[in-house]
């Protein structure tokens, strides 16, 4: 099974910088024999960069998609991103849903995220659906209940025969340089795996996210049920992103 390396560029990169990244990344990746046989790469540019990424990645092995979509396809929803446009016009096959920054800063709630996942699936795209606990929740021993509640609510009503990707991102590990320990990652990924199986999902992968870098990637990838990463800071430069992929 290929490991997944998903780049969340957040609110960074102009379209030109996104284009340069893809061109350079393709050049570098193809120097490594069988790169795309062992690595599945997904890029999440900000909305203004999606067309640039699409023009260079459509028809290649590099997946891409928006960092957020609205749960209606079109209409009077000023300021939102259309999943249908991403899918049909830009050929995006993925969408990032429920990132903790969306939940916290933009107050997105479980019911909305569930509608987004359902729309993404109806468009034959794949969600990278993010879950994870805050530091306060971890310290209150609420990690698994919080993750389970987010999973149950977010994935309700989805077709379990269709692929879904879950990204476990402990909020306290995002952009802080604090990586969850291998034991913490192992516990949560095992629990998510068991939960998804119990819910009848047949095709899923579970990514870890939170201060992933080249020097911690190899050990994290050996943890059972870590099927890849969702990477923020280290995905912004081709060299650091590629080095995380090459830890595979
Ligand atoms: P960092 O890799 O910068 O910690 O960000 C993780 C993240 O939020 C990816 O979605």
- Residues in Cβ contact with 133 at an 8 Å cutoff, skipping those fewer than 6 apart: 142, 143, 146, 147, 170, 171
Which pLDDT does position 177 carry in this prediction? 87
Asked if residue 211 has its Cβ within 6 Å of ligand 1, the reply is yes
Which pLDDT does position 62 carry in this prediction? 97
Asked if residue 99 has its Cβ within 6 Å of ligand 1, the reply is yes
Which pLDDT does position 150 carry in this prediction? 98
Which pLDDT does position 48 carry in this prediction? 97
Low-confidence ranges of the chain (pLDDT < 70): none
Asked if residue 62 has its Cβ within 6 Å of ligand 1, the reply is no
Which pLDDT does position 179 carry in this prediction? 87
Question: Which architecture, in CATH terms, is 3-245?
Answer: Alpha-Beta Barrel (3.20)
Whole-prediction pTM? 0.97
Closest CA relative to residue 152, chosen from 208, 107, 200, 211? 200
Active site members: 99, 169
Residue with tokens 């969850």: 180
Which pLDDT does position 178 carry in this prediction? 87
């Amino acid at each position: 099974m290929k490991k997944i390396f998903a780049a969340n560029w957040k609110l960074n990169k102009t379209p030109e910088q996104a284009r340069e990244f893809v061109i350079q990344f393709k050049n570098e990746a193809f120097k490594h024999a069988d790169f795309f046989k062992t690595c599945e790469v997904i890029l999440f540019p900000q909305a203004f960069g999606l067309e640039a990424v699409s023009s260079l990645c459509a028809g290649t092995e590099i997946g891409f998609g928006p960092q957020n979509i609205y749960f209606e396809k079109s209409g009077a929803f000023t300021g939102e991103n259309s999943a249908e446009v991403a899918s049909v016009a830009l050929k995006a096959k993925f969408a990032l849903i429920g990132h903790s920054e969306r939940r916290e800063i933009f107050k997105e709630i479980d019911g909305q995220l569930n509608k987004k996942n359902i729309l993404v699936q109806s468009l034959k795209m794949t969600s990278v659906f993010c879950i994870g606990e805050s530091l306060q929740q971890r310290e209150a021993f609420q990690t698994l209940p919080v993750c389970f509640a987010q999973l149950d609510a977010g994935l309700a009503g989805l077709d379990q025969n269709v692929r879904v990707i879950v990204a476990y991102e402990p909020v306290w590990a995002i952009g802080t340089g604090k990586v969850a320990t291998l034991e913490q990652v192992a516990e949560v990924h095992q629990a998510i795996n068991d939960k998804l199986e119990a819910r009848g999902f047949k095709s899923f992968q579970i990514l870890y996210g939170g201060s992933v870098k080249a020097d911690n990637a190899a050990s994290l990838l050996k943890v059972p049920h870590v099927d890849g990463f969702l990477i923020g800071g280290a995905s912004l430069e081709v060299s650091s992103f590629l080095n995380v992929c090459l830890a595979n």
